[in-house]
Structure 1
Amino acid sequence: MPTFHEAQTSVMELAQFAASRGWLPATSGNLSVRVSDQPLTFAITRSGADKSRLQPEDVLLLDADMRAQGDTPYKPSAETTVHVALYQKFECGSILHVHTVYNNLVSELYAEQGFVEIRGHELVKALGHWEEGAAVRIPIVPNWADLHRLGSAVAEAAQADVPAVLVRAHGVYAWGDTPDDARRHLEAIEFLCEYMYKLHLARGRGTV
């Protein structure tokens, strides 16, 4: 497990990467890296921080009850509930939550069926699916205003073999065993969301 300082540095690097892609507009999103298992602690971006200009003090060390460890004037995002729920379900090492146009559009297009299926695309290999004609189904959950309910919904929908969940008209949560794995999964999901939306347009369908 990383030290808090190492996790803090990883969070800042992940934020810089995602912000450079335009995936964290208007202080949105939150990113975290697990620090310890027993008890659960993790480093996570604070509420309201501009992710393109993070400072070390903008990354907090929290426990499973979302209590900040150490002296800080800042508060974690209320969406930290989702990170806690995912860390408690999986042994993942990092969770990334971003808001983009394409993941929002795809979550709207496929919301009624509760998932978007992507079949036979090269980039599903980045999600760990190497078999011929592999298909993945990325779950889509409602954007519950009750954030404890949202955390439960994301964790319930999350699957071990598809490291992402879309939240309708909100964003995506992606995770991995390490920060690098989480980044790779997020990058693949974002590519696939853009691909699925543009494929939908190219086919000229009015509905999915």
Structure 2
Amino acid sequence: MTDRPVLLLEQKQRAFTELRDIKKTFADRGWFPGTSGNLSVRVGDFAPDRFAFAITASGKDKSVHTPEDFLLVDEHGKPLEPTSLKPSAETLIHCEIYRLTGCGAIFHIHSVFNSLVSELFWERGSIPVQGVELIKAFNIWHDDAEIEVPILPNYSDIPRIAELVEGRLDPTVPGIVLRKHGIYAWGANAFEAKRHLEAFEFLFEYVYRWQLLKR
């Protein structure tokens, strides 16, 4: 990869700062139980099939800030700089989402509600949401709008999951859920990805509570 454009230090630091701010916000909400979850932001501007992104390092307590919380990886999930850090185990899923969508940021968190609804609607294969105001967060504006958020199996072999992303990703719905695991939400930039993630989490809680009320 010697022909890859040199990443400017300013771009790298900007991405790390964005991730640090988002990490704190989500950690304060309890969205990283244990050392779970991962966040990434695209860095640089390369060809569609060649890109780089900053991602959270594996095994870190995300409620604590250290100088070794993030690293840079290429479109294959390999570190771009010499480092002792390991990228998140789920980096290959980020690679696929970046490749397929061209998005600028991807946030993955674990919550009770996204895990519950993924199991509740597992046989359906997607989580249905209809007529709820926050669907507008995805720029879907028509009355009584309905979306289906795809659910993928939660294999321990991450490449098996990554292979399924292309066949299930809906370009109008900026998120996918792993069964009993968590949500991946993305956007054109960190601001939009955060907005999408927050909307998904509200909608998942709504769907779960509505299912209880109907019984």
Deviations 1:115-160 (A, max 9, x none): 0111111000011111111111101111122101111223431111
Query: Does the CA contact (< 8 Å) of 1:82 and 1:155 recur in 2?
Result: no
Q: What is the CA–CA distance in structure 1 between the aligned matches of 2:13 and 2:168, rounded to whole Å?
A: 32
SS in 2 for 1:42: strand
* Structure 1 residue 64, shift from structure 2 partner: 1.4
Q: What is the CA–CA distance in structure 2 between the aligned matches of 1:37 and 1:144, rounded to whole Å?
A: 32
Deviations 1:166-205 (A, max 9, x none): 110111100000100000000000000011111111111x
1:28 is aligned to 36
Deviations 1:54-87 (A, max 9, x none): 3242110111122212232111112001000000
Structure 1 runs of 4+ with >4 Å offset: none
Equivalent residue in structure 2 for 1:118, among 103, 106, 129: 129
- Correspondence 1:3 to 2:8: no
Q: Matched residues, percent identical?
A: 45
Letter in 2 for 1:108: E
Q: What is the CA–CA distance in structure 2 between the aligned matches of 1:54 and 1:182, rounded to whole Å?
A: 21
- Correspondence 1:103 to 2:111: no
Q: 1:146 to 1:65 in 2, by over 3 A?
A: same
SS in 1 for 2:147: strand
- Count of aligned positions: 204
Q: What is the CA–CA distance in structure 2 between the aligned matches of 1:55 and 1:10, rounded to whole Å?
A: 14
* Structure 1 residue 37, shift from structure 2 partner: 4.0
**Where does 1:24-173 land on structure 2 (aligned, <5 Å)?**
24-38=32-46, 39-173=50-184
Moved more, 29-38 or 161-170: 29-38
Deviations 1:16-65 (A, max 9, x none): 11111111110100000000242311000000011111324211011112
SS in 2 for 1:53: coil
Unmatched 5+ stretches in structure 2: 1-7
2:3 is aligned to none
Q: What is the CA–CA distance in structure 1 between the aligned matches of 2:67 and 2:44, rounded to whole Å?
A: 19
Q: What is the CA–CA distance in structure 2 between the aligned matches of 1:151 and 1:65, rounded to whole Å?
A: 12
SS in 1 for 2:123: helix
Letter in 2 for 1:4: K
SS in 1 for 2:106: strand
Letter in 1 for 2:93: V
